Structure 1
Amino acid sequence: MIFGRVKPLDAILATAQKKSLHRSLGALQLTLFGIGCIIGTGIFVLTAAGAQKAGPGLMLAFIIAGAVCIVAALCYAEIAAMLPVAGSAYTYTYSVMGELLAWTVGWALVLEYAIAASAVSVGWSGYFSGTILQEFLGITLPPWLSAGPLALGGAPGGLINLPALIIALLVTWLLMIGTSESARVNAVLVAIKITALTAFMVLTLPKVETANFNPFLPAGLFGGFGSGVGAVGAAATIFFAYVGFDAVSTAAEETKNPQRNVPIGLIGSLGICTIFYILVAAGAIGTIGGQPIMGPGGVPFPAGSEELARQCAMPAHAQALVCSNEALAHVLRNIGFGAVGNALGIAAFLALPSVILILLFGQTRIFFVMSRDGLLPEGLSKVHPKWRTPYVVTALTGVVVALAAAFLPVGALADIANAGTLYAFMMVAIAVMLLRRRDPSRERKFRVPALWLVGPLTIIGCVFLFLNLPRDAMLVLPVWTGIGLIVYYGYSYRNSHLGRGLVEVHEPELHDLEPEIPGVGETR
């Protein structure tokens, strides 16, 4: 029976020890990894889109999405501490519900990370071409170098988005040379963005006017099934911004003392970022207003649509928050802090590479473990003898993401990425509940409090947000899963190590195959 292909927990741990990644990350680095992904994506990319969907209700949307993430993070913390190996939701599903469902989860995560990394690369390109080159250096990049031929809304005659291609390849190179080296760079970028956002809150919150929050829910709490608008629809979109805590769990195999540090990294990064989200949204909307531009029937125009672009071109809406491509800098310029606004734009330019780094990090680790299990060609899981990183899969992933960012439409893809994310989070909650019942005596360094409540709330919350995505986004997941099943039955099913009986046993002599290299990948 294919659903009987469940990989024992001890076998997963033994396999990880035999071909393992170097443990170099601590709790602080894991927390910074999560903050690096969460804050960069949500605040700098999705603020205007979220306001167009929900208006001032964007603050409530952050709370709704954060609440679902909190219960999901608790489930992640328990199982990640028990299974401190790479692979995240894929590995957890493999150990509890079997190979087929694990494959669908891993396949969904591949889609999620690839779309997100490509989209953020294009977002960085916009800041680079506009804020840095044009505003500060007075250089206008030729249209054929700043937009791909298939980019939505790209300039006529576009050939390639060269800045997006370059930043994706640079981040890929950084990940290849070492995990801790990447973490050090990420720590600097996180410090820059936290400083910028703190300055934003200090300058905007004292100028908040309560009248700007009325009406608070102009599009209602629920926009309707498949509409993607309203506070809940906005929550389904900005859920994309919380994927950072999932990336933290993919780093479990490279973490020192994972039983302690993984839960700290997961919950710590999520809590810090949720507070930032709510306060920054309050400052932005409370100072210049954040009402959506309504279309026929009192329904907001879709974010990123041609109809909204035409409305934003009109003088009456030119200064609207929902029409800005750099929302936070736009707010500061409108309340008299133009110099600080430009500095914040630079901070966003510096911060977005850390988002790309975390997304690429998460995807390469998913690929690494699926290859190590035989579900993908084993050559992908090779660990570099010096850098101690999965360099083959990192290089391949980076090239694909870079090419997608250079040539393909990656505009309003957060909803598509969310479909796979919500599915993975739901499966983790199910795995934790099943594992509690099947293996109650196994040591758990972290236990989910009131799992009987937290587990079902996670499942209900994920399904609820999924059903509030736009219809097109909901359809992507089953289509992508269908493609994945073709790959699975065409290659993975017969090459699976578990299916072929190649299951490691937990023995003391199973350690790293590579010799320890002093100074490489270590954090001091």
Structure 2
Amino acid sequence: MLFGRVKPLDAILATAEKKGLHRSLGAFQLTMLGIGAVIGTGIFVLTSEAAQKAGPGMLLSFVVAGFICAVAALCYSELASMVPVSGSAYTYTYAVTGEILAWMVGWALILEYAVGASAVSVGWSNHAVGLLNGIGLHVPAAISNADALMAHMYVAFGADQTPDIAQAMATGGWINVPAIIVVAIVTWLLIIGTTESARVNSILVLIKIAALTAFVALTIPVLKAENFNPFMPTGFGNPFSSSGLGVLGAAASIFFAYVGFDAVSTAAEETKNPQRNVPIGLIGSLAICTVFYILVASGAIGAIGAQPVRSLAGAVLSPGTPEIAGRCAAIVASAGAAAEPLVCSKEALVHVLDVINWPLIGRLVGLAAVLALPSVVLMMMFGQTRIFFTMARDGLLPAKLASVHPRFRTPHVVTLLTGMAAAVAAAILPVGKLADYSNAGTLFAFFMVAISVMVLRRTDPGRTRPFRTPAVFVVAPLAIIGCVVLYLSLPLTAKLVLPIWGAIGLVIYFGYSRSRSHVGRGMMDVVDDPALQPEVAKPLH
């Protein structure tokens, strides 16, 4: 049977039982954990992308994305508390709906994590270059972005060479070297086995929150009501449109800013009274982050405006394209850097503070991003390598990928491959497109988790659930509908990435993985060597 291969939960849980984690986390600790995991990447990196798609209406986009994340998170938590091992949604799906769908989820998670790491790397590059330029160390455009390369590719594939594209060719760069450097450093750290400590992570969380708090405190007093008009210049959005514009299109991009909440759900095994505290931690952290995001976005919009940039013909341009890169370059060339629209800035929050005459605080906000974002790259790449590792250990990928370094005891082969792929994507693609591609994989994974939690309630109702999703047959369908709507609201290229990537995955599955699957061959044993079990978690306290 095509859908008959299910990995028994008991076999998976045999590994989980080796953790023996102490239940010590309360609602407050979980909420702080969630805030630390969520705040950072999206708000620093994607504010200008969201503004180009929705204008001031991006305030609604944060609410939409936050709500969909919340209902998906509640589904995620039930499965995470039942199956507290590595593999995330891949493992849950394997135990519930079978191998082929688990393969597709795992394949989508590879897209989520690896491309997400590339997106954060490009965001880090933008802030690092801006910080260096601000202190007089100029980084040439030729090696700090790939706008010229993308423009030449557009023309090579048949696009008309408009004045905006010609401007991107003339002023843009060819490769993003700083993004490659940060990916290389993170890859090296993961291979030698260095991961950030809880203390370092706490310091980085405080730096991020302090920077965003300072931004809000300085921008809210100077906001102007007229900058919010028109509020939705691109409309609410049409999920069946190919443009990805509007409030829904911005929400689909901003969804990237909320990824990370699974840090709360995967901590269910270490939580006192998880049935009460996990939903408090999840909803509390997402609610606080949403309010924070809305305040930051309101400050940015109200201080300098956030209307989308249009072409010479008056059409709203899609973010991440050579046309908008050229149009923005032309605006700066004719009116100066101070006149650069919010949607054009590669470091939006820093730019806002510069315009309202707080350049020193702007540099400090940029420094906060430079300090905090590499840890996000590390955690995304860590997650991706562990998904790959788990799939290889299940026999679905070559065993060589599950090789462990004899000295460092880390999965060095898969880590190196992940780093190389992330570096190539970061070198040539803009941050918004990378985030959209990553979101396509994430939304599919969350879609499958919501299905799995309902299926398991019917097929195994007696299984112990440390956390139960409240009103599961309302919450899970809302998560499914929300994920579908956001996926359909992505730009056409991001919509196509998932089925194309999925088709490649199916070719590999039927050509290689299905015949070598351990479950298919009746091999249900669990590896005993702790060094070969990256899912054996360390206590968070």
> Which 10-residue stretch deviates more, 422-431 or 28-37?
28-37
Matches within 5 A, 1:158-197: 161-178=176-193, 181-197=196-212
1:367 counterpart letter in structure 2: F
Matches within 5 A, 1:443-454: 443-454=464-475
Partner of 2:81: 81
> Which 10-residue stretch deviates more, 199-208 or 479-488?
199-208
The question of 1:135 aligning with 2:131 is answered no
Partner of 1:95: 95
Q: 1:515 to 1:424 in 2, by over 3 A?
A: closer
Shift of 1:325: 1.5
Partner of 2:461: 440
Q: Within 1, Cα distance between the matches of 2:173 and 2:179?
A: 13
Shift of 1:294: 3.6
1:393 counterpart letter in structure 2: V
Partner of 1:213: 228
The question of 1:344 aligning with 2:365 is answered yes
Structure 1 runs not aligned, ≥5 long: none
Shift of 1:514: 5.1
Q: 1:111 to 1:282 in 2, by over 3 A?
A: same
1:274 counterpart letter in structure 2: T
Partner of 1:290: 306
8 Å CA contact retained: 2:237, 2:249 = yes
Superposed CA RMSD in Å reads 3.4
Q: 1:174 to 1:522 in 2, by over 3 A?
A: farther
Partner of 2:112: 112
Instruction: Find the residue that maps to 2:39 and give its secondary structure.
Output: helix
Listed one character per residue, the Cα deviations across residues 258-287 of structure 1 (whole Å, up to 9, x for unaligned) are 984876765554333222211111111122
Q: Within 2, Cα distance between the matches of 1:272 and 1:394?
A: 34
Q: 1:281 to 1:514 in 2, by over 3 A?
A: closer
> Which 10-residue stretch deviates more, 434-443 or 26-35?
26-35
Q: 1:376 to 1:430 in 2, by over 3 A?
A: same
Q: Within 1, Cα distance between the matches of 2:262 and 2:187?
A: 19
Q: Within 2, Cα distance between the matches of 1:283 and 1:221?
A: 21
Q: Within 2, Cα distance between the matches of 1:407 and 1:301?
A: 20
Shift of 1:105: 0.7
8 Å CA contact retained: 2:77, 2:467 = yes
8 Å CA contact retained: 1:61, 1:231 = yes
Q: Percent identity?
A: 60
> Which 10-residue stretch deviates more, 177-186 or 48-57?
177-186
8 Å CA contact retained: 1:180, 1:521 = no
Shift of 1:487: 0.9
Which residue among 475, 482, 486 is the counterpart of 2:503?
A: 482
Shift of 1:347: 1.1
Which residue among 281, 285, 303 is the counterpart of 2:319?
A: 303
Instruction: Find the residue that maps to 2:397 and give its secondary structure.
Output: coil
8 Å CA contact retained: 1:119, 1:411 = yes
Partner of 1:53: 53
Shift of 1:522: 7.0
Partner of 2:448: 427
> Which 10-residue stretch deviates more, 464-473 or 312-321?
312-321
The question of 1:323 aligning with 2:347 is answered no
Q: 1:466 to 1:42 in 2, by over 3 A?
A: same
Instruction: Find the residue that maps to 1:448 and give its secondary structure.
Output: coil
Listed one character per residue, the Cα deviations across residues 449-500 of structure 1 (whole Å, up to 9, x for unaligned) are 1111101101111111111111221111111101001111122111111001
Partner of 2:156: none
Instruction: Find the residue that maps to 2:208 and give its secondary structure.
Output: helix
Q: Within 2, Cα distance between the matches of 1:295 and 1:157?
A: 18
Q: Within 2, Cα distance between the matches of 1:156 and 1:343?
A: 28
Structure 2 runs not aligned, ≥5 long: 152-167
Shift of 1:387: 6.0
Q: 1:445 to 1:191 in 2, by over 3 A?
A: same
Q: Within 2, Cα distance between the matches of 1:29 and 1:331?
A: 33
Q: 1:160 to 1:55 in 2, by over 3 A?
A: closer
8 Å CA contact retained: 2:244, 2:489 = yes
Q: Within 2, Cα distance between the matches of 1:444 and 1:66?
A: 25
8 Å CA contact retained: 2:216, 2:296 = yes
Shift of 1:245: 2.1
The question of 1:455 aligning with 2:454 is answered no
Partner of 2:126: 126
Listed one character per residue, the Cα deviations across residues 127-175 of structure 1 (whole Å, up to 9, x for unaligned) are 223322x221x22345665456956668889675432222112223333
Taking structure 1 as the reference length, the TM-score comes to 0.87
Partner of 2:163: none
Instruction: Find the residue that maps to 1:3 and give its secondary structure.
Output: coil
8 Å CA contact retained: 2:123, 2:431 = no
Q: Within 1, Cα distance between the matches of 2:118 and 2:433?
A: 11
Q: Within 2, Cα distance between the matches of 1:140 and 1:483?
A: 42
8 Å CA contact retained: 2:243, 2:318 = no
8 Å CA contact retained: 2:34, 2:286 = yes
8 Å CA contact retained: 2:404, 2:532 = no
